[in-house]
Structures are given as structure tokens and as C-alpha cells.
């Protein structure tokens, strides 16, 4: 059967993350994978199992998640997004569908992922978000972006990120490579933290963002980052920021693997 790849966007507030969750003694949790597979089953009139490139946590958003599945169909590939979108809830959308190579794996074949964490900061009455409150983290404390830029740069490179991961990360190795990490003020009360790498541990981006924001607030020193990286001690890193400020922005594959059309 042919393999089909799709690119998905979702507002994650009302979802329990990407991965399908079906507790034996409770109704299934509402997840991205679960809603997608219901829509696929309705469209193709058979059970379809999907694999997703990133297991985003509860409340985390995505501009460009990638998933893949196999199915025999006469529906033109270009019409699959529209057909699925009529069956999906309003907080998720399929943006594109294409035919990758048969052994394409959205998880294994990803060469780089990019995330953004967005923060609204400053005086409580003046800047608390209203219209985008579900997609931005609010802090009433003013942050200085200059030390945050220095802090972000310290994460670039290959490091052991044990101190910047949840204890239940479930990975054999905590070594990851960060290709880029930048903090930027996009307005007087908004800061974005953009980070890309070859892979991320459970809660890793939210902990890195928590560390950078603590430095911006003046509550941590830059030296704490190096100490945490060298020791692997989670207590030396910053807090895990809430999920609403985080979004998966993009996933890159080598051209010969994904064959994704422009």
C-alpha cells in the first residue's frame, strides 16, 4: 500500500497532546492522533494507524506537525487535506498531503525540528494577553532580553541535556545537538525564544525556555546553565514553563526521504 504524508496544524489547548490515549477504565482522551485517526477512518472506511513526528505535550500547539499512514485509495492526493478537514474539529487542520518514499518514517527521518516559545511580560494590567492568551505565556515580571540572548547562545552545540528534561524522559541517551537558540524582543512586551535541534527530550524546550526567562528576570545567573549542563542536576536549571507558549513550528527532512512538494 502507498504511504501518504500529511502536514498538520493545531491549537493544542483542548488536547491531551499528540499521542492516542485510551485508558481501559475511562473514555479515550481527546488527542491529535485520536481525532486524526477518527477522521481517516471516516474518509477511507477502515481503521488507519498514523505515526507522528513529534509527541507534543498536552496544551502545546503546532504549525507544522508531520504524520504518515498507509492506505489504498482512489482519492487524489491533493484532495485529501480538504476531505479530512471537513471531518476534523475546528482546532486542527491538515495543510498538505504528499507521497513520500515507501519507507519514509516521520520520526526517524527527521533531521531538524524547530520550536518557538512566546512570552508576554511586564505590568499585569497593561500587557496580559486577551485574544492570544491560549498561545502565549504571560509573566507579570519585566524581562531584560539582552542577558536572555547570551543565555540562549549557551545551549547551542552538542550537550548532555539531562538537567533540562523531565525525569520520565524515557530515552537511553540525553545527549542532543542544538543547531540554533535565540531570544528576540518582537515588541516592548513580547519575547520569543526560537530553538532548533536534531531532537528534544520530554519537556526540554519548556525547561530551556524557563531557564532563559529566569535569567531575563534576574533570578538566575548565566553560570547556572553551564553548571546544569555539566552536572546533569535538574535542580540547577530553571522551571518548566506552561505549555501554552510553546509551538512546533517546522520539521525538516532530507529531500530524498520526504519528497515533499514545495
Whole-angstrom distance, CA of residue 218 vs CA of residue 127 = 20
The whole-angstrom separation of Cα 180 and Cα 157 is 8
In angstroms, the CA 116 to CA 144 distance is: 18
CA distance 123 to 179: 34
Is residue 182 classed as helix, strand or coil in its secondary structure? strand
For residue 27, the tally of other CB atoms under 10 A from its CB is: 7
Would you say 13 and 30 are in contact if contact means Cβ atoms under 8 Å apart? no
Distance, in Å, from the CA atom of 39 to the CA atom of 182, rounded to the nearest integer, reads 37
Q: Round to whole Å and give the CA distance between 21 and 85.
A: 22
Residue 206: CB atoms within 10 A of its CB come to 25
172 is catalytic: no
Catalytic residue among 25, 57, 91, 103: 57
Q: Please enumerate in sequence order all residues whose Cβ is within 8 A of that of 98, keeping only pairs 6 or more positions apart, or say none.
A: 4, 5, 6, 77, 258, 259, 260, 261
* Active site (catalytic) residues: 57
Amino acid at each position: 500500500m502507498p504511504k501518504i504524508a500529511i502536514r498538520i496544524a493545531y491549537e493544542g489547548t483542548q488536547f491531551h497532546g499528540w499521542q492516542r490515549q485510551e485508558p481501559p477504565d475511562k473514555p479515550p482522551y481527546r488527542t491529535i492522533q485520536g481525532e486524526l485517526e477518527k477522521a481517516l477512518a471516516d474518509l477511507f472506511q477502515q481503521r488507519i494507524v498514523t505515526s507522528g513526528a513529534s509527541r507534543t505535550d498536552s496544551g502545546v500547539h503546532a504549525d507544522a506537525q508531520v504524520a504518515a499512514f498507509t492506505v489504498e485509495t482512489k482519492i487524489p492526493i491533493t484532495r485529501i487535506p480538504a476531505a479530512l478537514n471537513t471531518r476534523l474539529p475546528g482546532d486542527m487542520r491538515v495543510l498538505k498531503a504528499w507521497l513520500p518514499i515507501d519507507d519514509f518514517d516521520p520520526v526517524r527521518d527527521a533531521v531538524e525540528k524547530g520550536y518557538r516559545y512566546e512570552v508576554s511580560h511586564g505590568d499585569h494590567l497593561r500587557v496580559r494577553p486577551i485574544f492570544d492568551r491560549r498561545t502565549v505565556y504571560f509573566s507579570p515580571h519585566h524581562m531584560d532580553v539582552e542577558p536572555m540572548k547570551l543565555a540562549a547562545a549557551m545551549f547551542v552545540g552538542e550537550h548532555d541535556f539531562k538537567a533540562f528534561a523531565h525525569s520520565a524522559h524515557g530515552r537511553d541517551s540525553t545527549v542532543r545537538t542544538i543547531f540554533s537558540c535565540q531570544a528576540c524582543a518582537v515588541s516592548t512586551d513580547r519575547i520569543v525564544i526560537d530553538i532548533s535541534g536534531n531532537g528534544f527530550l520530554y519537556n526540554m524546550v519548556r525547561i530551556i525556555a524557563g531557564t532563559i526567562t529566569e535569567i531575563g528576570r534576574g533570578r538566575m545567573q548565566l553560570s547556572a546553565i553551564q553548571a546544569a549542563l555539566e552536572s546533569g542536576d535538574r535542580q540547577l536549571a530553571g522551571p518548566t514553563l506552561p505549555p501554552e507558549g510553546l509551538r512546533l513550528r517546522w520539521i525538516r527532512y532530507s529531500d530524498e526521504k520526504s519528497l515533499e512538494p514545495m
